[in-house]
Amino acid sequence: MSVEELVKTLNKYAHLLGFPINLEWVRTVESVQQDIMGEVRRLAGNYGSLREFVESLDSQGLLEKAVAKAASTIGEDVGDYRESVKAALTGDLKVKGSKPALIALQAIARAYAEEASKKEPIVEPSAYCPTCGATSETMVKSGGKYLMICHFCTYTWITSEKHPTCPYCGNKDMLTIGVISDKQMRIALMKCWKCGAKWRAILDETIKAPPVLLPLIAMAAEKYTQILATIKKEFES
Ligand SMILES: [Zn+2]
Ligand SMILES: [Zn+2]
């Protein structure tokens, strides 16, 4: 999907969110990420893990190039790109160059996940991305199945069919999985009363958007946090 189509799609669902989105920032990041993905995509299928892929790109000078590209796009300086990458991986975004490093790493992870998605889908009631290891908080219903989608690399895996399963503890008991939503059941906040985990879910299958946007659109579920707190009180009293 082109950058403009992606921004248009996001705009279409922005009203669900209840908070403003910086479309200009989304456009900038998406365009540089698509650029980087275009450069590394042809190599992405050759490695057994994302780590190996990143290491190989680094040895070919392509990681440094990707970070530099992201840096010039967002107008930020990078000192030692390896330090920036390290900071990005530990989430220390105060370090110089860590933001462009994060943008570059995400683009590389997305290219890797795209390749991984061509293989047999992974079925696993887990919240941890099998590709990059990030913890997903986003569930999507598709074709009657429940999938988790990674907010970082956009890899998607199946957690259950017919009924949602808690991706954090594997709880299948419908009576202890809370679904807090509006009447239309488009986007919901889900809660497992067994392990205490909560996550967001897009239940309306007519919501169609590129994978990179789904975790953002699912943020709309945050508006049910207040209701969840009320239920929790009643549940515990
Ligand atoms: Zn991932
Ligand atoms: Zn659970």
In a domain, 200, yes or no: yes
In a domain, 130, yes or no: no
Q: Which domain holds residue 97?
A: 18-116
Question: Distance between CA 10 and CA 64 in Å, rounded?
Answer: 30
CA of 156 to the centre of ligand 1 (A): 8
**pLDDT bracket for residue 182 (50, 70, 90):** confident
Share of the chain above pLDDT 90, in %: 89
Is the Cβ–Cβ distance between 158 and 122 less than 8 Å?
Answer: yes
| Residue 99 belongs to a domain | yes
- Asked if residue 223 and residue 150 are part of one domain, the reply reads yes
Beta bridge partners of 190: 179, 199
Taking the C-alpha atoms of residue 76 and residue 28, their distance in angstroms, rounded to an integer, is: 13
Mean pLDDT of 2-20: 92
Same domain, 111 and 160: no
d(CA 3, ligand 1 centre) in Å? 21
Query: At 166, is the pLDDT very low, low, confident or very high (cuts 50, 70, 90)?
Result: very high
pLDDT band at 227 (very low <50, low <70, confident <90, very high): confident
99 and 186, same domain (yes or no): no
Ion ligand 2: residues, CB < 5 A: 166, 168-169, 171, 192, 194-195, 197
Measured CA to CA, the distance from residue 205 to residue 227 in angstroms comes to: 24
Sole residue written with tokens 């000078």: 61
Position 51 in a domain: yes
CA of 193 to the centre of ligand 2 (A): 7
Q: State whether 31 and 61 are in the same domain.
A: yes
Rounded distance between C-alpha atoms, residue 147 and residue 156, angstroms: 6
Q: Tell me the pLDDT tens digit for each residue of 25-47.
A: 999 999 999 999 999 999 999 99
0.85 exceeded by pTM? yes
Residue found under tokens 């780590």: 51
Domain total for the chain? 2
Q: Last residue of a domain, which of 116, 148, 172?
A: 116
Q: From the CA of 111, how far away is ligand 2's center (Å)?
A: 31
Q: Quick: pLDDT tens for 85-121.
A: 999 999 899 999 999 999 999 999 999 999 999 999 9
Residue 174 in domain: yes
pLDDT computed for residue 177 by the predictor: 95
